[in-house]
Amino acid sequence: PSCRRYVAGGRCKSTARLEGKVVIITGANTGIGKETARDLARRGKVIIACRDTAKAEAAASEIRAETGNQEVIAKKLDLADTKSIREFAERFLAEEKELHILINNAGVMLCPYSKTADGFEMQLGVNHLGHFLLTFLLLERLKQCAPARIVNVSSLAHHGGRIRFHDLHGEKSYNRGLAYCHSKLANVLFTRELARRLQGKFQRQEGFTANALHPGSVYSDLVRHSFVMTWMWKIFSFFLKTPCEGAQTSIYCAVAEELESVTGQYFSDCQPAYVSPRGRDDETAKKLWSVSCELLGIQWD
């Protein structure tokens, strides 16, 4: 029915092949990450980077069997622990000579107040800081393999977010719904500032891009921490995208030929989408960048 078609939203029509190319997708053992991996495995080599290695291996072997592509590899990556992120990057750089597409897809949503191994509020720590560090560690390899793309999975929820520099880790006040919004706004601002920096340096000739996206409201286990949301998701599942439909914009940002030199943008349903005024604030983006570097103990100029 046309209502269902409307819910499904845009589809990635690109048939671009990724022979000889390497893609990393974080959190690809379930939901839209897994569907993104399934599609890209029909095109090239995919590395599924997840916290739960058993689930990651199960997803990888299912995708290998289905696509006939033996180059779908599971690797351990816990974004809630900077030590794990550094170990993942180190191993990857030692084993793989190429990296063309990095899809920062993993996320936690609506979790009760908790902290990462490094003392960051969990949603900001995993959704923003973990991916910020991962991107930093892999940037040189992406640069060497340009044209390359960085794809950050954000959310429409960024409209409800603000970067609370006075209480980044929610120690003074914490609302799990708002904390998710803040972390998704951080994704948009990170993408914007990253694109600006890449452009300044070498983007012009290289086609090295960074874009963010909203996958849509997807029926997945991302809401597992909230009983109410889980219950609502079940009732309204007809009006939610399937994980496969939700993966379309990630796939589009990763492969669409027409995005070769498009950078610093935000997409939804495989087309440019509206970014909140806070998501376009360059001063906040710059400040978030330097605060993130400070928290992670890195220098990223």
Q: pLDDT tens digits, residue range 216-239?
A: 876 555 556 566 666 565 665 556
- The total number of structural domains that make up the chain: 1
Residue 300 lies inside a defined structural domain of this protein = no
DSSP-derived letter for residue 39 is H
pLDDT score at 240: 72
Q: Which domain holds residue 146?
A: 1-293
The answer to whether 189 and 285 are in contact (CB under 8 A) is yes
Strands 148-153 and 72-76, sheet pairing: unpaired
d(CA 48, CA 26): 6
Residue 114 belongs to domain with CATH number: 3.40.50.720
pLDDT score at 233: 52
DSSP-derived letter for residue 273 is -
The answer to whether 43 and 49 are in contact (CB under 8 A) is no
Low-confidence residues of the chain, pLDDT below 70?
1-8, 201-205, 218-239
Q: Within a 10 A sphere around the Cβ of 153, how many other Cβ atoms? A: 28
The answer to whether 262 and 51 are in contact (CB under 8 A) is no
**H-state helical runs in the chain:** 2-8, 31-40, 53-67, 82-95, 122-124, 131-144, 176-198, 204-206, 227-235, 243-246, 248-255, 282-296
d(CA 50, CA 74): 7
pLDDT score at 203: 46
Q: For residue range 136-171, list pLDDT tens digits in order.
A: 999 999 999 999 999 999 999 999 999 999 999 999
Residue 68 lies inside a defined structural domain of this protein = yes
pLDDT score at 9: 78
Task: Give the containing element (helix H, strand E) for 117.
Answer: none
Residue 299 lies inside a defined structural domain of this protein = no
pTM value is: 0.94
Which residues are 72's β-sheet partners? 46
pLDDT score at 48: 98
Residue 301 lies inside a defined structural domain of this protein = no
Give the catalytic positions in this structure: 180
Residue 298 lies inside a defined structural domain of this protein = no
d(CA 113, CA 278): 24
